[in-house]
Chain A
């Protein structure tokens, strides 16, 4: 299986790497090879997602898979322009005070293996 490329560089900044069907006007993230609406692979073009959205819901996880250190916070953020809901970890010093509806920002970070990961922070903290 080809590894998904979730992040791409655009004008020196990172953005989430989606695509869009020009005919149906639907944005996909992660990318799809075939538009689920017109079932064609010819109308898809690159589309970088915006990095600001609204917190739809979240949770603080206390018990997880063995490879994860707990507690950590995760959530879904709605990118209103793209029409895409994105899942990612949330980094926040006081996660208990997060609220559904908060404005969130996507932050990109390169790990030791050179892979670019992303997470959410509150836009104004």
Chain B
């Protein structure tokens, strides 16, 4: 396997764009990534496009807008982890020696397709009986409260943090100065989760260029080394799945740490899949930053704030930035690159060296989740 570098990133501002075709959102993100990488676009040798609901061959429809055609383009679906899955495929295209330059794209336009809560696939037994995604996480939150004494206020302070971080991010949909009280007074979605505990329905696109060492050296710039790309699926376990500790996240992170040769103690910050406030807690514990239940004191001590011990979701996360499913995983790379290059402006973490991106997607009855990806990246 060869070393792989993240050379360029691009993303649209996330928001609600029911009128903008997905092809245009995708085009804008890819265009920015190419400019950011400073490569000649005709040198792109393959592309991988992640999305959940954008129809057949969406990647080709995006790339034809820029005349980027005539090379292999593959479309990937892994629910909310579709973008991370595309990133991983582009990574392997370069790591395997097949390509020197590969493009990962994440796209989604949800606002012209859905209203209200999203659920597992409509054929899913539990979805048919009324299990929405917010309801699933609400039940995990209730269980966490029961086991560890978590309070609604702890959840709300994650929402406050992520909205605040988003305020400093010009690509975020939902930057806001809100208080714990405002979170608790927002509309109830599924007890104990309020509206501001949930990510907003959003649209957007993101892109990343992955290159070989040879290309990274030729182009110069500020390449970032991808130390590990891990992907896994939820295990079908008959019996009683632990709903407050994420086996899928933990297995994925351990595999990434092993490949990267680093541990949680070496990671300076992380973008994690905070589809709901409780999810941020489960992810941070799942990637081994702290022990089960310990996030309660971490929240109280401000350890996950931008200037804290382990900043979590400096971009604003899914809650503050928005969550256009397929675009999310690649947009996490945008933030990792911005932070590692010290380009994050007012939300800049103090000179980070290693960042981690965690993204997971989907619900399949009988398992703990459908897909989970963890990537670890390092500034050289």
Contact = CB atoms under 8 A, between A and B. Distances in A.
Interface of A: 1, 4, 6, 26-28, 30, 36, 56-66, 68, 72, 74-76, 78, 83-85, 87-89, 100
6 contacts: A1-B123, A36-B236, A57-B139, A62-B188, A63-B134, A74-B135
Given A63-B189, A64-B130, A65-B132, A57 B143 contact: yes
A87 B117 CA distance: 19
Secondary structure at the B interface, as helix, strand, loop or mixed, is loop
B130 A89 contact: yes
Contact of B116 (A26, A57, A58, A65): A65
A56 B188 CA distance: 22
Give 4 nearest A-B pairs by CB, closest first: A59-B138, A57-B143, A57-B139, A60-B191
A76 B241 CA distance: 11
B190 interface: yes
B67 interface: no
B126 interface: yes
Nearest to A99: B146
Contacts of B146: 57, 100
A61 B115 CA distance: 16
Contacts of B190: 59-63
B239 A85 contact: yes
B42 interface: no
A74 B131 CA distance: 8
Given A59-B138, A60-B190, A62-B188, A83 B126 contact: no
A62 B127 CA distance: 15
A84 B243 contact: no
Interface residues on B, range: 20 to 34
Given A59-B142, A62-B188, A63-B190, A78 B243 contact: no
B129 A83 contact: no
B238 interface: yes
A66 B191 CA distance: 19
Interface in B155-210: 187-192
A115 to B, nearest CB: 12
Contacts of B126: 87
A66 B132 contact: no
Given A62-B190, A64-B130, A100-B146, A83 B125 contact: no
A104 B330 CA distance: 44
Contacts of A83: 238-240
A118 to B, nearest CB: 9
A104 B115 CA distance: 33
B365 interface: yes
B140 interface: yes
B116 A61 contact: no
A118 B97 CA distance: 55
A27 to B, nearest CB: 7
B142 A100 contact: yes
A68 B130 CA distance: 7
Interface in B231-271: 236, 238-241, 243
Contacts of B191: 59-60, 62
Given A66-B115, A72-B130, A57 B238 contact: no
B162 to A, nearest CB: 20
A36 B366 CA distance: 12
Contact of B243 (A26, A56, A74): A56
B41 interface: no
B311 interface: no
Nearest to B147: A100
A1 B124 CA distance: 12
B238 A27 contact: yes
Nearest to B198: A63
A88 B134 contact: no
A78 B135 CA distance: 18
Nearest to A35: B238
A72 B191 CA distance: 11
A58 B138 CA distance: 8
Contacts of A78: 240
Contacts of A100: 142-143, 146
B143 A26 contact: no
Contacts of A30: 125
Contact of B239 (A84, A87, A88): A84
Contacts of B239: 83-85
Contact of B130 (A56, A74, A76): A74
Interface in B98-116: 115-116
